[in-house]
A and B are shown apart, each in its own frame.
Chain A
Amino acid sequence: MTDKKKENLTKVMDYLKHKDPFSKGVAFCPGCGLELLLRFIPQVIGNDIVITGTPSCSAPVLLGQNNQSWHTLSYFGTLMTGAAANATGLARYYRKAGIENTVVCFNGDGTAADIGFGNLSGAAERNEPFIYICYDNEGYMNTGIQKSGTTPYGATTTTTPLGSAHKGKNLRRMNLALKMAMHKIPYAATATLSDLDDLAKKLLKAKEAKKRGFAFLHVFTPCTTGWGYAPENTIEVCRRAVKTNYFPLWEAVNGKIRMTKTVKKPKPVSTYTELIKKFAHMSEEDLQILQDDVDYEYCMLGGLSLLEGECQLPVSSED
């Protein structure tokens, strides 16, 4: 009976080889995707990592409060304008001192895509040996849900409110992971929380690629408070983002893109937006603009991956 049940156990369990360094009760919202990601990373790539990060939702927990700590990892808090430069210094110090460990620069999309993009691009160009993980919750959630460069078209935030003049953000989001892949770094990938085996594989590949230089991971991490969806839907939101091609999963080794998960029949993007309150006001025309954006980005990715000859050109859902 017991052995038969053991066969059912998900394969993701095999990747969780290390101890969870965080204490059980930490100050994240119920249903927070970031908490799952933060606990998952050291369990997969080991506890011998040094995390450096910036003011964000992750900072209160990673940095600790008063003179106490929430976890047993090493953490170095820095400013948003110099996150990747700080990680560069750490990585170079450990290389010179001959200490074997992994420097993980862990930031939100505000640091990675907006404020700290200059030195992120510089560190990628210099091919510094560390892992940069951007957890993308599509806005500055810690400071009160302001819009960022990765906020999608139509999303309401406190700086792109719903009113008579504007209805949410009127610009399209940037594709940060593709930008980083275009730096021709040893490893760049996108991942999300609904495909944890995919995320674990990419984390291990990033750790391996770190020996050759810069590794970048873009992890789609929904925010239950900022986006306005029920806490139990965190994984479902990730899953629908993948199934609608809103957030395609791919990896790029030295700039050569390969899709790691292709969706045979992509669903319309409305099946994703219907779960989330920040898209609730969107009309048919607005959704069509978002759908066109999603299709365009996915076709572009498919075209780039076709250059490798390993992936078929994806068919857009309109055909």
Chain B
Amino acid sequence: MSSNKYFKHEGPWSDASDPLMCSDTGDWRTKRPIVDKDKCIFCGFCAIYCPIQVMEMVEESYFSPNLGFCKGCGICAKECPKNAISMMPEGDFKK
């Protein structure tokens, strides 16, 4: 499994040399969360309610998702008290 050209991380079916298995769950996403930095009041609800815990603090002023693993469930957008996160169709971001 040395030439894995589809995924950055080894899939669970492979004999990976990494100590932990990790799938590219970002590929599952059909909607992408977009954070409005100006609306974000840094309450952290998106970060604590995110099942995958991928919302990362950026410069201690707003939160941003790690799109490599975000499954696009939309809990962050639903729970944001200021509606600072919107879910955009993933197809809009293809090159």
Which A residues form the contact surface with B (CB < 8 A)?
1-2, 5-6, 8-10, 12-13, 16, 20, 23-28, 30-33, 35-36, 39, 64-72, 193, 196, 224, 230-236
User: Are A2 and B21 neighbours in the complex by a CB distance under 8 Å?
Assistant: no
User: Are B53 and A233 neighbours in the complex by a CB distance under 8 Å?
Assistant: no
Q: Which residue of A lies closest to B48 (CB)?
A: A12
With A10-B48, A25-B69, A27-B12 as contacts: A68 and B75 at CB distance below 8 Å:
no
**Which of A1, A10, A24 lies in contact with B68, CB distance below 8 A?**
A24
**Chain B's interface: helix, strand, loop or mixed, by majority?**
loop
A10, B50: Cα distance in complex, Å: 14
Q: Chain B nearest CB: distance from A64 CB in Å?
A: 7
User: Are A2 and B48 neighbours in the complex by a CB distance under 8 Å?
Assistant: no
Chain A residues closer than 8 Å to B29, beta-carbon distance: 30
Chain B residues closer than 8 Å to A24, beta-carbon distance: 22, 25, 52, 54, 66, 68-69
Tell me the chain B residues, 46-88 only, with Cβ under 8 Å from chain A. 47-54, 59-61, 66, 68-69, 71-75, 77-79, 87
With A9-B42, A68-B12, A235-B78 as contacts: A36 and B69 at CB distance below 8 Å:
no
Chain A residues closer than 8 Å to B42, beta-carbon distance: 5-6, 8-9
User: Are B73 and A20 neighbours in the complex by a CB distance under 8 Å?
Assistant: no
User: Are B21 and A69 neighbours in the complex by a CB distance under 8 Å?
Assistant: yes
User: Are A65 and B20 neighbours in the complex by a CB distance under 8 Å?
Assistant: no
20 contacts across the A-B interface (CB closer than 8 A)? A5-B42, A9-B43, A10-B44, A10-B48, A24-B25, A24-B66, A30-B29, A30-B73, A31-B71, A39-B52, A64-B21, A68-B16, A68-B20, A68-B21, A69-B20, A196-B48, A231-B73, A231-B74, A234-B75, A235-B49
A71, B21: Cα distance in complex, Å: 8
Chain B residues closer than 8 Å to A72, beta-carbon distance: 20
Chain A residues closer than 8 Å to B60, beta-carbon distance: 2, 5-6
Q: Which 6 pairs across A and B sit closest by C-beta, in order of nearness? A: A232-B74, A31-B73, A30-B71, A25-B25, A231-B73, A5-B42
**Which of B12, B45, B79 lies in contact with A66, CB distance below 8 A?**
B12
Chain A residues closer than 8 Å to B28, beta-carbon distance: 30
A127, B20: Cα distance in complex, Å: 36
A51, B87: Cα distance in complex, Å: 35
User: Are B48 and A13 neighbours in the complex by a CB distance under 8 Å?
Assistant: yes
Known pairs A5-B60, A9-B43. 7 more at Cβ < 8 A? A13-B48, A24-B69, A36-B53, A68-B16, A68-B20, A224-B73, A232-B73
Chain B residues closer than 8 Å to A71, beta-carbon distance: 20
A31, B49: Cα distance in complex, Å: 10
A33, B77: Cα distance in complex, Å: 16
User: Are B75 and A31 neighbours in the complex by a CB distance under 8 Å?
Assistant: yes
Chain A residues closer than 8 Å to B13, beta-carbon distance: 65-66
Q: Chain A nearest CB: distance from B31 CB in Å?
A: 9
Q: Which residue of B lies closest to A34 (CB)?
A: B51
User: Are A8 and B43 neighbours in the complex by a CB distance under 8 Å?
Assistant: yes
